[in-house]
Amino acid sequence: MKEAILRLLKEARPDYLSGEEICKSLDVSRTAVWKHIQALREEGYEIEARPKAGYLLTGVPDRLFPEEIRHGLAAQLFGREIFYRDSVPSTNDLAKEMARRGAGEGAVVVAEEQTAGKGRLGRGWHTPRYKGLCFSLILYPPVVPSEAAQVTMLAAVAVASAIRDVAGVPAGIKWPNDILVNSKKICGILTELSAEMDKINYLVTGIGINVNQDLDDFPGELRSVATSVKIEAGRAMPRLKLLQACLAEFEKWYAVWLGQGFSPVLARWKEMSVSLHCPVRISTLKECWDGWAEDVDQDGALLLRLSDGSLKRLVSGEVTL
């Protein structure tokens, strides 16, 4: 009912909508309408009430409510099913549970904050309430497990494109899938999967974007290496708009990948890369390699030219530029 009232208020804008019209359209009492209006206000919606004229929606909060995400969403499949939580330990963990319970292709798990967000290589990921964006997509790609890394790379292309479009900041990709702006990390991606030898049961791609954090929202040790959309663009950015753009771009690139294979994705990934054709240091859990980042192959592995002229192929690791 609350969602229905909200829809009517949105449709009526910029005009007031009388309480009587709401009652008639939805077949509810005046008292019920008033209670729902109050509930919407508590969620952050700004609704003016004027005697005789009725109600006018004057402000929508930057919350990631499913009905707001769907409103004006360009994606068709991604975001059709949305699991929203105010707070969650990790959207990836919840997404895995939802996938096991049968969530559909393109279902999204989104939260306002994570209390135990997970990063790559066993690290954590901090998403402060209402400031960061953390969401996970559930997918069932018809490929073998060794091709799953391609989905993470296409996610990087999609999210970097969305950040560029929405915020107008020069987002680039650092191998394998960190998104940087002005050499600082603005977004991380973590893909997890359940698979058998030759088949993926489900895949979860989790995306964390620093959106409206100020520098002092980051823990001290991250301040020199992390940034946010707000810091880079010089103004706060609606998280909702960025999430919608990410879903639309992700859906677009996923369709390209399913239809045409990895080549067009890899070509775009290379164009957006900030860690190719330059000297890099790669740290793996056991070793450290210095060399020239020469190329990325069809499996997404980094080809590193070492000082002795040999070519080293790396499938995972952390790049220092």
For position 123 contacting ligand BTN by CB under 6 A, the verdict is yes
Name the minimum Å distance from CB 214 to ligand BTN.
19
Q: What distance in Å separates the CA atoms of residue 147 and residue 298, rounded to the nearest whole number?
A: 10
> Which of 10, 120, 281, 305 forms a contact with ligand BTN (CB under 6 A)?
120
> In the complex with ligand BTN, which residue's Cβ is closer, 61 or 119?
119
For position 118 contacting ligand BTN by CB under 6 A, the verdict is yes
Q: Which residues 162-191 are close enough to bind ligand BTN by CB under 6 A?
A: 178, 188-190
The pair of three-digit structure tokens given for residue 232, joined into one six-digit string: 């880079």
Q: For residue 122, which phi and psi values (nearest 5 degrees)? A: 75, 10
Rg (CA), the chain: 22
Cis bond before residue 145 (omega within 30° of 0): no
Name the minimum Å distance from CB 131 to ligand BTN.
13
DSSP 10-73: HHHTTS-B-HHHHHHHHT--HHHHHHHHHHHHHTT-EEEEETTTEEEEEE--S---HHHHHTT-
For position 126 contacting ligand BTN by CB under 6 A, the verdict is no
Q: For residue 4, which phi and psi values (nearest 5 degrees)? A: -65, -40
Q: For residue 168, which phi and psi values (nearest 5 degrees)? A: 65, 25
Name the minimum Å distance from CB 300 to ligand BTN.
16
Name the minimum Å distance from CB 135 to ligand BTN.
6
For position 141 contacting ligand BTN by CB under 6 A, the verdict is no
Q: What distance in Å separates the CA atoms of residue 176 and residue 318, rounded to the nearest whole number?
A: 8
With beta carbons less than 8 A apart as the criterion, state whether 222 and 214 touch. Answer: no
Stretch of 34-42, 63-71, 73-81, 123-131 lying at the interface with ligand BTN (CB under 6 A): 123-131
The pair of three-digit structure tokens given for residue 102, joined into one six-digit string: 């049968």
Stretch of 116-124, 163-171, 254-262, 307-315 lying at the interface with ligand BTN (CB under 6 A): 116-124
- Residues in contact with ligand BTN, total (CB under 6 A)? 20
For position 246 contacting ligand BTN by CB under 6 A, the verdict is no
> Which of 66, 119, 145, 238 forms a contact with ligand BTN (CB under 6 A)?
119
Residues that bind ligand BTN (CB under 6 A): 90-92, 114, 117-120, 123, 125, 127, 134, 136, 178, 188-190, 206-208
